[in-house]
Amino acid sequence: MSSLFNNARALSEQKKSMLVEMLDSVFDNLDLTKTQRERIETAYKAVGNYLASCEHPLLEGAQIYPQGSMRLRTTNKPLGQEEFDVDLILFLPNAAFATRDEIVSVVKQHLLDNEVYKELVEDLPRGLRINYKGDYHLDITPAKAYDLQGFQGHPLWVVDKHTGFKESNPEGMAQGFDKACSMLPVIRKAHVFMEALTNRSVTELPDQLKKKPLNRIIQILKRHRDVWSQQDGNIHADFRPISVVITMLASLAYVEVVKSGKEYDIEFDLILDVIELMPHHIENNFDEVLITNPTMKPENYAEKWNRVEGLEGQKYRNAFYAWHRAAVDTFEHLASANNQGIDNVFTALSGAFGERPVVAAKDRIIETVNANRSNGNLGVALGTGAITTTVAGKTNAASRVVTPVVKVKGNRFYGD
């Protein structure tokens, strides 16, 4: 099978390693901080406790828990002035015989009775939003128990403005995602850039210790989608692929790769394989497109792709393939930029993922390189161009560079 990534796959091991570590450094700046995560968790637990305290029988024993990116640990800081979107399930164990309108009415009224929440409540097709304007918002989807047994996770009927209720199982999907994340391919990882300079991994985060390669890959793809959809003149912006579609297709592609037994020298090629295989996991059943929840087959994440009126479904399908092509082009462009120098790489990264996190990553790398340069510990491996550190004339072992190393003179990095 011919590859979509001819330039990217042809890069040297050192250049692939540099790109992965630069991406890691960029996305370190897009992770939620521990303080942000704790503040959001405090907010939704407070809402859950308040709703459960209501004396109305429909809300007795109410439970609230996260779904989506917060649950899956794939949240990125939003672009520009956008807010964090925190998706929550409000499970009502005593609402088995209640209608959608009854459930939404009771939940909304109880929120309106609160002095804090009454000014923040907004209606949604599948529930209610508590909008802490300028910071984040909580999207609350009320749900009742599903009336069939034998499903993994927590099968539900979630409220829906158009149909009354929809089958859903976000916790079952999340458990499957957790299992996929725990499946780790063999990566013979040889850091030759940032780790060689700092003597430690650049991906260590005190509040993200459980992040796995799949979490990071989906963060990368979702951020790329966000930036791509805001490009001037993008005719697909209103139909951009939703996060759960990207997450499910990337997860299925990742599992396929891991189960194949393929081994990698560098994580970069794993990212390329996942992107390339994503469309292969879109199912077609006669005229219907399916990207289903494996733990709740009636839940089709590509539901909008099948809408006929106004060719809406076709527009969603076109937008996905346009975004996927753009993602391939981005990594091909990064490969070309890598062959033209590090400043060109930063420019390409900014175009794909936004200027602010890339500038922060660039500043960190410059600071690290300058510190090693001023200490006389910076070198370049002859024949590869890899940046290394040298101690007492020896190359830092973290770089695994076996070619001769020449010390770099003490001028400022980037000629600045």
Same domain, yes or no: 152 and 265: no
| Confidence class for position 397, pLDDT limits 50, 70, 90 | very low
Please check whether residue 67 lies inside any domain of the structure: yes
pLDDT, tens digit (0-9, with 9 covering 90-100), for 119-156: 999 999 999 999 987 778 999 999 999 988 889 999 99
Same domain, yes or no: 141 and 181: no
How far apart, in whole angstroms, are the C-alpha atoms of residue 125 and residue 163?
10
Q: What is the DSSP letter of 265?
A: S
Amino acid at 123: D
Choose the weakest-confidence range: 166-175, 230-239, 406-415: 406-415
Same domain, yes or no: 222 and 349: yes
**Token code pair at residue 403:** 């070619």
Q: How high does pLDDT run on average in the chain?
A: 85
DSSP H or E run through 20 = helix 13-28
pLDDT of residue 208 exceeding 80: no
For CA atoms 90, 91, 92, 96, give the dihedral sign: positive
* Percentage of the chain modeled with pLDDT above 70: 82
Choose the weakest-confidence range: 313-327, 334-348, 383-397: 383-397
What pLDDT is attached to residue 403?
33
Identify the domain containing residue 322 by its residue range: 6-21+176-185+213-356
| Tally of domains within the chain | 2
pLDDT of residue 203 exceeding 60: no
How far apart, in whole angstroms, are the C-alpha atoms of residue 71 and residue 92?
19
| Confidence class for position 226, pLDDT limits 50, 70, 90 | very high
SS3 of residue 301 by DSSP: coil
Backbone angles phi, psi at 57, to 5 degrees: -60, -30
| Confidence class for position 339, pLDDT limits 50, 70, 90 | confident
Average pLDDT, stretch 282-290? Answer: 94
Please check whether residue 42 lies inside any domain of the structure: yes
Amino acid at 316: Y
Distance of CA 204 to CAs 25, 167, 200, 201, 345, Å?
A: 10, 38, 8, 6, 23
How far apart, in whole angstroms, are the C-alpha atoms of residue 145 and residue 148?
9
pTM: predicted TM-score of the whole model, two decimal places:
0.86
How far apart, in whole angstroms, are the C-alpha atoms of residue 279 and residue 256?
13
Q: Is the Cβ–Cβ distance between 225 and 246 less than 8 Å?
A: yes
Choose the weakest-confidence range: 89-93, 142-146, 369-373: 369-373
Please check whether residue 381 lies inside any domain of the structure: no
Please check whether residue 367 lies inside any domain of the structure: no
Distance of CA 360 to CAs 15, 32, 189, 357, Å?
A: 21, 15, 25, 5
Same domain, yes or no: 119 and 223: no
Same domain, yes or no: 181 and 328: yes
Same domain, yes or no: 159 and 247: no
Give the end of a domain, one of 341, 356, 371. 356
pLDDT of residue 396 exceeding 80: no
How far apart, in whole angstroms, are the C-alpha atoms of residue 305 and residue 311?
9
What CATH number does residue 46 fall under?
Answer: 3.30.460.10
Same domain, yes or no: 44 and 118: yes
Give the end of a domain, one of 325, 356, 387. 356
Same domain, yes or no: 237 and 339: yes
How far apart, in whole angstroms, are the C-alpha atoms of residue 244 and residue 72?
10
Give the end of a domain, one of 333, 356, 379. 356
Give me the helices (H) in 138-212, please: 170-182, 194-198
Same domain, yes or no: 279 and 161: no
Please check whether residue 412 lies inside any domain of the structure: no
Same domain, yes or no: 78 and 38: yes
Average pLDDT, stretch 321-336? Answer: 97
Q: Is the Cβ–Cβ distance between 156 and 145 less than 8 Å?
A: yes
Average pLDDT, stretch 175-180? Answer: 97
Please check whether residue 199 lies inside any domain of the structure: no
Please check whether residue 155 lies inside any domain of the structure: yes
Q: What is the DSSP letter of 406?
A: E
Please check whether residue 135 lies inside any domain of the structure: yes
Same domain, yes or no: 320 and 247: yes
Same domain, yes or no: 341 and 227: yes
Q: Which residue would you say has higher pLDDT here, 30 or 412? A: 30
Average pLDDT, stretch 173-185? Answer: 96
Choose the weakest-confidence range: 142-156, 256-270, 298-312, 354-368: 354-368
